[in-house]
Each structure stands twice: as C-alpha cells, then as structure tokens.
Amino acid sequence: MSPTICLIPGDGIGQEVIPETARVLAHLCPDITFTQANAGWETFERTGSALPQATLARAAQADAILFGATQSPTDGRKTGYASPILALRQHFDLYANLRPTIALLPGQPPVDLLIVRENSEGLYIREEESDGETAIARRRITRRASQRTARVALEHARARRGRLTIIHKANVLPLTDGLFRRAALEVAEDYPDVQMEDMLVDAAAMWLVKDPARFDVLVAPNLYGDILSDLAAGLVGGLGLAPSANIGDNRVAVFEPVHGSAPDIAGQGVANPTAALLSGAMALEHLGRVEEARRLRIAIYAALQSAPLPADLGGNASTIEFTETVIHAL
C-alpha cells in the first residue's frame, strides 16, 4: 500500500529542512505520496489561525505527518496565538513523545538513549493565572496518561537494552510526581524482564552529563522530558541532530525535529537538516518501511563522518549541500 505523508514545514528553518527531508524520502521511497499543509505564525498572521481546519483535515488523511517547527510569540495571550504542535498532539491524542539521543559524531561518548516524554498533560495544560504579583500554573498528572506513556517506554525498553529509568521529583511533589512514579511502577509489573530504577529529575540531569551511557530508556512527565531531551541533544552535538516522534494509539503520528524555527539562522540556508532527516527515518519505521529507515540512518551517519558538515557542527555545508551528501551516500 502506498502511504501518504503530510508535510507541515511551519516557520523559519522548518521551511528549509522539511522540503529537503521530503526530497530524501521521495528518493528512498518513490511510492510515497506527499501532501502539504500550513501552520504557524506566518499562517496565523495571514489567516487568523495557527492551525487551520484545512490543515487538520489534510493531516487526518495522512499516514504520517512531518512537522518542521513554528515560531511562537513569548506572550501568545496578547494575540490569541496557540502553538500548533501542542494542538496537533491534543487533536490526534499523541500522548507519548519519543526523543532518541544517539552519538553520531566521531569522538563522542557512547550515548544511545531514548527519552519517552508524557505529551498530553503536566504543566502543558497551560492553566496559568496571575494578578501581576503572584502567578500560578496548574499541573495535571493522571494515572491514565502516566500509565499509557509508561507502557510505551516499557515496550521500547524491552526491545532495546531492557532498562527503564522513571524521572520524577516526588520528594517535593508527592501527589503529582508521586502519582506519575507509582503509575509507571504499576505498569512495570507487566514487564518483569525490564530492569527498573527511579531517579529525581535534578540527579538525572547530573548523571546525563556525567555518565550518559548508563541510561537506556527514560520516562518523564512532560516538562522534565522536554528539558532533559534538549540536554541530551546537547551532549551529542546539539538540536541540529535531535529527532522526535509524537505517537498515540491511532494511525496518525507526527514526526518533528526537536528544534524550533531558529530565527537567528532562518532564511540563510544553513540549518542542519539531520534532525528532520532522522525524524523522517522514524516516520518510515512508523510506515513499516524498516529497511528504508535503516538505509537512511546509515547514509546520515556516513554523511556526518565526512566533510563538509553543517555550520552548527563547525563546517560550512549548506542545508542543501548536506542533504546532497546524504542522497549521495544512499
């Protein structure tokens, strides 16, 4: 069956790395159909909606969505702008965010870990209030969301090296983080073959820097997962290399580089496409194109061992030149 991927490049460098990724995927799998849809700040300014209904409709018809990045104003309330990626995650109930970190560059420590981030609640319910002097954010943790995220993490741990670390701060937040931790431990009873540990989020930050090779899979509430996954990306060369997947129980899943729209380099043609390309490899796996995904990964690794590298890795390759190196390696 010929699958459909919906491209949502978004803003800034999303518009540079997503078309290049589509070019590579089309080269690998000529039978894939690509559709295109709009989201983000530019779309909001033009249409009044950051995620138009037409985009949701097109996305719903696809087997996978490849999302670039969007630009968010720091104070969205002033304009009514709402982050499209958060809305997409909610709309399609993509409750788990997979963020793998693998050392790909020569001379790096042997990092190969996966952060599974709860993707639907925590502080991201965005219930804030303020009287100008005191500001309060509500944070929701549910057993259901924690358990289903933990199950995804445990399945991955089982398929990998069989270790799972539960990240929390239950010493300070015994009700919310305590529930997250307990819920994960409950599901872990179904996985006696997975070795469990739990760790406070601050200690996890330290161990990720000091000895990242000790980790296999980590499962974390939304904000901790967001922060620790950027930290992990920093260990192996930065956001230009970090892919992610947003998955749920349905067919539709959203694949996106972890990075944002990078306004400081947007429009210059120098963004590193690797994070988007690796997200494309995750999309291929989701579509059952496991062999093509493997070939793409090998080609990306080969391109990263050769010169020239993209600017964020100290080289002078443009986005297009680096993509050409990957296609050549394929």
Other CB atoms closer than 10 Å to residue 265's CB: what's the count?
Answer: 18
**Binds Mg ion by CB under 5 A, chosen from 226, 285, 292, 312:** 226
How many Å separate Cα 166 from the centre of its chain? 19
The reply on whether position 243 binds ligand NAI by CB under 6 A is: no
Which parts of 188-298 are beta strand (E)?
195-200, 217-220, 243-247, 254-257
The reply on whether position 75 binds ligand NAI by CB under 6 A is: no
Residues 42 and 100: beta-carbon distance below 8 Å: no
Active site includes 301?
A: no
Name the residue with the smallest CB distance to ligand NAI.
260
The reply on whether position 261 binds ligand NAI by CB under 6 A is: yes
Q: Least distance to ligand NAI from the beta carbon of 76, Å?
A: 9
Characterise 304 by phi-psi region: left (phi > 0), alpha (psi -120 to 50), beta (else).
Answer: alpha
Cβ distance to Mg ion smaller for residue 168 or 259: 259
Active site includes 249?
A: no
The reply on whether position 49 binds ligand NAI by CB under 6 A is: no
**Binds ligand NAI by CB under 6 A, chosen from 69, 141, 232, 278:** 69
Active site includes 210?
A: no
The reply on whether position 264 binds ligand NAI by CB under 6 A is: yes
For 277, half-sphere exposure in the C-beta direction (CA atoms, 13 angstrom radius) is: 31
Active site includes 78?
A: no
For 38, half-sphere exposure in the C-beta direction (CA atoms, 13 angstrom radius) is: 13
What are the structure tokens assigned to 63, written together? 């087997």
The reply on whether position 216 binds ligand NAI by CB under 6 A is: no
The H or E element that residue 69 is part of is strand 64-69
Q: Which of these is catalytic: 169, 191, 216, 224? A: 169
Active site includes 230?
A: yes
Q: Please state, in angstroms and rounded to a whole number, the distance separating the CA atoms of residues 39 and 58.
A: 12
Tell me the number of residues near ligand NAI by CB under 6 A.
Answer: 20
The reply on whether position 275 binds ligand NAI by CB under 6 A is: yes
In this structure, what are the phi and psi dihedrals at residue 327, rounded to the nearest 5 degrees? Answer: -65, -40
**Binds ligand NAI by CB under 6 A, chosen from 25, 150, 262, 283:** 262
Beta bridge partners of 243: 257
The reply on whether position 303 binds ligand NAI by CB under 6 A is: no
Cβ distance to ligand NAI smaller for residue 263 or 288: 263
By C-alpha distance, which of 14, 2, 16 is closest to 322?
16
Q: Which of these is catalytic: 93, 112, 198, 230? A: 230
| Residue 222 binds which of Mg ion, ligand NAI, none (CB < 5-8 A, kind-dependent) | none
Site for ligand NAI in 78-137 (CB under 6 A): 85
Q: Please state, in angstroms and rounded to a whole number, the distance separating the CA atoms of residues 298 and 316.
A: 22
Kindly list the catalytic residues.
124, 169, 202, 226, 230
Residue numbers at the binding site for Mg ion (CB under 5 A): 226
